[in-house]
């Protein structure tokens, strides 16, 4: 455990050294979009290839697979790092990891430029990118899965068929359909645990305001406003503590590392080879060499294996709490659905505001038992802004959360707090994107819904 904790400490120090020439926090935004044909069904793989070709004609550098030579993505330089586009879990789910910026105004400009590029491509290809959290028609299945090495072992480690029939794949293929908007914010080691606790602590309030993944399989999902977050529970089953709000409020970085070390390992990399770790109950057991000393390749053959420090970094991507310390030593806020295209900035605005006001956020959340916080997340998935737990209404949490974030942004002195106005308006109207989507779909039908959310 000392080595795992030291991994975080050294990682933060290296990250801070890289950031020292930049004054302030960097803000990173990962946008995922369902990529569909005009009729609402998933695009074909050749449509994705056409997207990479198009971006190449616009000055992006096309990324090719070194083995097959096929186009698999595109990238373009930013001020602080590159913007990278790739197919996500499914070929019909496109992710844009945007170049980091130093303020929300510059980030909004990047959104506008990207929207313009995608709209131009759509006009010439009869395809749409949807500013929504879910594919509206497509059914989950292995036919959608992106051919990546990290997708080889999910069925072996977390195999389940609670939703997806065995003949069509497994529940991990649900994630080819759901589109989140994830945010990375620079933090230091001394504030990282508070940041994780605050963002996880406000999970229910965030979901209530931003849920947008309830149009699925040509209907309004009655079981949830935020299916994208519910998918984690369906997929992981008795291991659902790897996702959502963690079991406890973390007391320290050591406590955080202990939690991560107790999750079962998935796989490690040795060169270009991916090696599964099915014989170990916990990552700690594997890393301390108390297991069989064996891994398993994609063909099921046993392979001698010695732990390596890089294995910790990879393991850090194999749990999916709503907020976590990323392997880039940022705080990653993961739980929000993709938003309407004119309102995408609200996710980084809310996240940044809370990070800038951690002391007040931590003090406010201390009044709630952690089990209540976890239950609020579950309730908000289903009921959005009408959620409540033991007489505590999520709308009250939302108001306090927004006020805390607004004060945090105000301290930056850049006028960024205006980007929270949309969330205040949603709260006042008791209406999030999911409730608006349901009304549009029920009153005007699928075609109108697609036209309403396409970029």
Per the model's pLDDT, the better-predicted residue between 390 and 81 turns out to be 390
Phi, psi of 336 (to 5 degrees): -85, 140
Q: How far apart are CA 17 and CA 6, in angstroms?
A: 16
Write down the pTM of the prediction.
Answer: 0.95
Q: How far apart are CA 259 and CA 439, in angstroms?
A: 42
Question: pLDDT (tens digit, 9 = 90+) per residue, 376-419?
Answer: 999 999 999 999 999 999 999 999 999 999 999 999 999 999 99
Q: How far apart are CA 77 and CA 236, in angstroms?
A: 37
Q: Which of 132, 335, 324 is nearest to 230 (CA)?
A: 335
**Whether residue 67 has pLDDT greater than 70:** no
Average model confidence (pLDDT) for the chain?
93
Mean pLDDT to the nearest integer, 289-312: 82
**Whether residue 151 has pLDDT greater than 60:** no
**Tally of CB atoms within 10 A around 370:** 16
174 contacts 231 by C-beta, under 8 angstroms: yes
Among 6-20, 188-202, 293-307, the least confident range: 293-307
Among 16-25, 73-82, 168-177, 332-341, the least confident range: 16-25
Q: Which residues have C-beta within 8 Å of that of residue 323, sequence separation ≥ 6?
A: 195, 196, 198, 199, 200, 203, 331, 332, 333, 334, 335
What is the distance between the terminal CA atoms of the chain, rounded to a whole angstrom? 47
Among 30-44, 56-70, 104-118, 159-173, the least confident range: 56-70
Identify the pLDDT of residue 23: 79
* Integer angstrom CA distances of residue 393 from 286, 357, 364, 373: 43, 23, 15, 11
Give 9-40 as a 3 state SS string.
Answer: HHHHHHHHHHHCCCCCCCEEEEEEEEEEECCC
**Whether residue 274 has pLDDT greater than 90:** no
Identify the pLDDT of residue 251: 97
Structural domains of the chain sorted by starting position, each given as residue range(s) with its CATH number in brackets = 2-249+319-453 (3.30.590.20), 264-316 (no CATH)
**Whether residue 272 has pLDDT greater than 80:** no
Q: How far apart are CA 444 and CA 312, in angstroms?
A: 50
Among 93-107, 287-301, 344-358, 426-440, the least confident range: 287-301
**Whether residue 312 has pLDDT greater than 60:** yes
Which helix (H) or strand (E) segment holds residue 129: the answer is strand 127-129
Question: pLDDT (tens digit, 9 = 90+) per residue, 233-249?
Answer: 999 988 889 999 999 99
DSSP character string of 320-332: EESEEE-TTSEEE
Q: Which residues have C-beta within 8 Å of that of residue 304, sequence separation ≥ 6?
A: 293, 294, 295
Identify the pLDDT of residue 297: 83
Query: Residue ranges of the alpha helices (H) in 99-226?
Result: 104-125, 154-158, 189-201, 203-210
For helices 253-261 and 189-201, give the axis angle rounded to 10 degrees.
Answer: 60
Q: Which residues of 83-94 are buried (b: 16+ CB within 10 A; e: fewer)?
A: bbbbbbbbbbbb
Q: Which residues have C-beta within 8 Å of that of residue 360, sequence separation ≥ 6?
A: 404, 407, 408
**Tally of CB atoms within 10 A around 65:** 11
**Tally of CB atoms within 10 A around 410:** 15
Q: How far apart are CA 249 and CA 222, in angstroms?
A: 31
Q: How far apart are CA 73 and CA 61, in angstroms?
A: 9
**Tally of CB atoms within 10 A around 317:** 12
**Whether residue 147 has pLDDT greater than 80:** no
Strand partners, 259: none
**Whether residue 368 has pLDDT greater than 90:** yes
Instruction: Please state, for a pLDDT cut of 70, what percent of the chain lies above it.
Output: 97
27 contacts 100 by C-beta, under 8 angstroms: yes
Q: How far apart are CA 120 and CA 125, in angstroms?
A: 9
- Which pairing describes strands 243-244 and 320-321: parallel, antiparallel, or unpaired? parallel
């Amino acid at each position: 455990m000392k080595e795992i904790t030291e991994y975080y400490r050294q990682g933060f120090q290296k990250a801070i050294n890289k950031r020292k020439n930049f004054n302030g926090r960097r803000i990173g935004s990962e946008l995922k979009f369902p990529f569909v044909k005009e009729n609402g069904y998933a695009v074909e793989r050749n449509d994705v290839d056409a997207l990479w070709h198009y971006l190449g004609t616009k000055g992006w550098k096309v990324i090719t697979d070194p083995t097959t030579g096929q186009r698999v993505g595109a990238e373009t330089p930013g001020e602080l790092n590159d913007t990278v586009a790739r197919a996500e879990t499914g070929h019909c789910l496109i992710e844009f990891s945007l170049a980091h910026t130093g303020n929300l105004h510059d980030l909004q400009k990047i959104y506008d430029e990207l929207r313009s590029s995608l709209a131009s491509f759509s006009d010439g290809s009869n395809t749409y990118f949807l500013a929504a959290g879910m594919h509206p028609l497509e059914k989950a299945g292995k036919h959608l899965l992106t051919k990546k090495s990290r997708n080889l072992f999910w069925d072996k480690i977390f195999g389940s068929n609670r939703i997806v029939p065995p003949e069509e794949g497994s529940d991990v293929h649900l994630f080819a359909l759901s589109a989140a908007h994830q945010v990375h914010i620079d933090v230091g080691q001394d504030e990282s645990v508070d940041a994780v606790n605050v963002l996880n602590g406000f999970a229910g309030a965030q979901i209530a305001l931003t849920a947008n993944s309830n149009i699925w399989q040509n209907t309004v999902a009655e079981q949830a406003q935020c299916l994208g977050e519910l998918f984690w529970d369906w997929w992981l089953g008795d291991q659902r503590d790897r996702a959502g709000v963690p079991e406890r409020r973390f007391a320290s970085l050591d406590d955080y590392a202990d939690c991560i070390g107790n999750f079962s390992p998935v796989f490690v990399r040795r060169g270009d080879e991916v090696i599964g770790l099915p014989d170990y109950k916990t990552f700690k057991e594997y890393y301390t060499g108390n297991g069989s000393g064996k891994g398993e390749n994609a063909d099921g053959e046993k392979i001698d294996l010695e732990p390596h420090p890089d294995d910790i970094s990879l393991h850090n991507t194999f749990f999916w709490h709503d907020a976590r310390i990323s392997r880039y030593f940022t705080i990653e806020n993961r739980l929000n659905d993709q938003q309407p295209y004119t309102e995408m900035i609200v996710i980084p605005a809310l996240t940044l505001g809370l990070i800038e006001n951690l002391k007040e956020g931590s003090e406010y959340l201390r009044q709630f038992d952690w089990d209540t916080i976890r239950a609020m997340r579950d309730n908000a998935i289903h009921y959005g802004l009408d959620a409540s737990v033991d007489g505590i209404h999520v709308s009250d949490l939302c108001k306090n959360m927004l006020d805390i974030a607004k004060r945090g942004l105000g301290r930056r002195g850049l006028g960024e707090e205006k980007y929270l106005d949309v969330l205040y308006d949603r709260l006042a109207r008791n209406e999030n994107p999911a409730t608006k989507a349901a009304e549009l779909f029920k009153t005007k039908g699928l075609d109108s819904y697609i036209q309403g959310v396409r970029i």
